[in-house]
Structure 1
Amino acid sequence: MIHALQFCATSNAKHNFERVAEFINTLPAHRPCLVSLPESWLCFAKSSEQVLEVARQHQYWRQQLSLLCQKEQVWLAAGTIPVMSDTGRYYAASILFDAQGRECAQYNKIHLFDVTVSDNTGNYHESKHTQPGEHIVVADVLGTKVGLSVCYDMRFSELYRAQVELGANVLLVPSAFTVPTGRAHWHTLLRARAIESQAFVVAAGLYGRNDTDIAHDNGRQTYGHSLIISPWGEIISECHSGEGWISATVDMNELNQCRERMPMHAHRQARKVKL
């Protein structure tokens, strides 16, 4: 079973952690399960300088996440937390914990969001304080291979093709999508990644709107619409707005039948992909 949380993060890391812990405590007692959090859930600040301060405390937050997994007996794909690099910048790190609190994998976001968007922020310059990752990561989770990625990565299909070549059956895409890009591309991109990869896609997203009582304190707005998508590209579960859980059981028989009936990976001519 996979559970993905849609969440309205603030700039206060302690407050965010406590609220996420409360959400996890509400999950059904059935174990084992994998819990997926959104991008930037720990600190969604107004400036990257504020996030940098949280990154300097990353060892503390990793310890707290480890203890939470032990307490709740869940596997946790912890969206992203900022982790200091040796360059003075931080990684947008997606860390995977098992139910004993052990760190099983860390993926550092490769593709950074340096773009102009027609929203109240306008210009995004993620690379100012974020160090790009360099490695593709696929991890074993409860007998299934899971590919780790983050938000803007979803626009680069070659990353997911490489993950599938490494055996990935489930693709995690924690996100903090803007509203304009979300309306235009969110569903299309994620369904495309599922269809071309013939894999389950799980995209836990931040949600916050300035005209509601569920708003980020940094003034930004995020799209929400957290999704779980089948290997055939069908939306299994969606959280359109607000906060809450979406859940699904990963049916490997469904995935295997999809790949057997349409053996795209055997048919592919260009099999070597270099990022």
Structure 2
Amino acid sequence: MSGQVLALQMCSGINAEQNMASLRLSLQQLPKTRPLLVCLPEAFLIFSKSSQASYQLGLKIDDYKAQLAQLCKQHDIWLAAGTVPVSQDNGKYLAASFLFNSQGDVVAQYNKIHLFDVDVADSTRCYRESDATQAGSDIVVVDSPFGKIGLAVCYDLRFSGLFSAMQRQGAELILVPSAFTVVTGAAHWHHLLAARAIETQSYVVAAAQWGDHENGRQTYGHSIIISPWGDTLSELPSGTGFISHELDLNQLNKIRQDMPVQSQQRFREHLL
């Protein structure tokens, strides 16, 4: 199994219809190689000013899932749909990452586990995702033509135990849709992504938000594809657009065979 993976960098706004229109335009520029996995950033559908706007959108998320499914069939692509809000009865919403196959079927749903409750020295300063977002709990790894895909989101990147758990479940390609702040991105983005790729000996693909957003946020960009050896294979530092790379699972398997770190792990019982 192999195939090409593509990460789309976006500057999403507060209007879901406009964000969908932007996505449709981008998909018209796709390479012709198939199978193709298209990865979208965190909050691609709505990067709202208020949690209430996200909650209201989450009440009708099935309509947008149907639109995304149709795009998968139209373009014959697999789609890792960043995150979208899925509203819950308790007044909060899940930050849900859906993976669609090329027939438009949802083959996996990962709900962001680690919520960004952090103080940052930027214009927003105080981030409290848990005020409106309900944390997920399940580790998700799923079969695909691109190998076994593990799903994570943004702040999850700082928690290596989650990535080790995905690797133990067979993950070969780990997706990290993100909306990193400029401050934390400049400090840690590349280091964390490379570390997660090296320690799990997996491909890591991080589609990112970039730029100055309508909600007042500033995001770091630098969408990136990293090899199981930790090499940067493709990167888009700024602007909107996409990067892509052909996966080589033979290389991944050789790295794991030559350096069998997982079988030599002595602290397995202490990990997730």
Q: TM-score, normalised by structure 2?
A: 0.97
Counterpart of 2:162 in structure 1 is 159
Counterpart of 2:20 in structure 1 is 17
Counterpart of 2:65 in structure 1 is 62
Q: Which letter does structure 2 place at the counterpart of 1:233?
A: G
Q: Distance in 2 between matches of 1:153 and 1:82?
A: 17
Instruction: Report how far residue 272 of structure 1 moved.
Output: 2.8
Q: Which letter does structure 1 place at the counterpart of 2:255?
A: C
Q: Distance in 2 between matches of 1:97 and 1:272?
A: 33
Q: Distance in 2 between matches of 1:54 and 1:191?
A: 34
Gaps of 5+ in 2: none
User: 2:225 matched to 1:228?
Assistant: yes
Aligned identity (percent) is 52
Counterpart of 2:32 in structure 1 is 29
User: 2:193 matched to 1:190?
Assistant: yes
Counterpart of 2:234 in structure 1 is 237
Q: Which letter does structure 1 place at the counterpart of 2:127?
A: Y
Instruction: Report how far residue 188 of structure 1 moved.
Output: 0.3
Q: Distance in 2 between matches of 1:165 and 1:37?
A: 25
SS of equivalent to 1:115: strand
CA pair 143-181 structure 1, distance change in 2 beyond 3 A: closer
Contact residue 6 and residue 245 of structure 2 kept, 8 A: yes
Aligned length: 269
Contact residue 197 and residue 231 of structure 1 kept, 8 A: yes
User: 2:209 matched to 1:250?
Assistant: no
SS of equivalent to 1:100: coil
Question: Among residues 256, 259, 266, which one is paired with 1:259 in the alignment?
Answer: 256
Q: TM-score, normalised by structure 1?
A: 0.96
Q: Which letter does structure 1 place at the counterpart of 2:261?
A: M
Question: Among residues 203, 207, 223, which one is paired with 2:206 in the alignment?
Answer: 203
SS of equivalent to 1:249: strand
Counterpart of 1:150 in structure 2 is 153
Gaps of 5+ in 1: 209-214
C-alpha RMSD of matched pairs (Å): 0.9
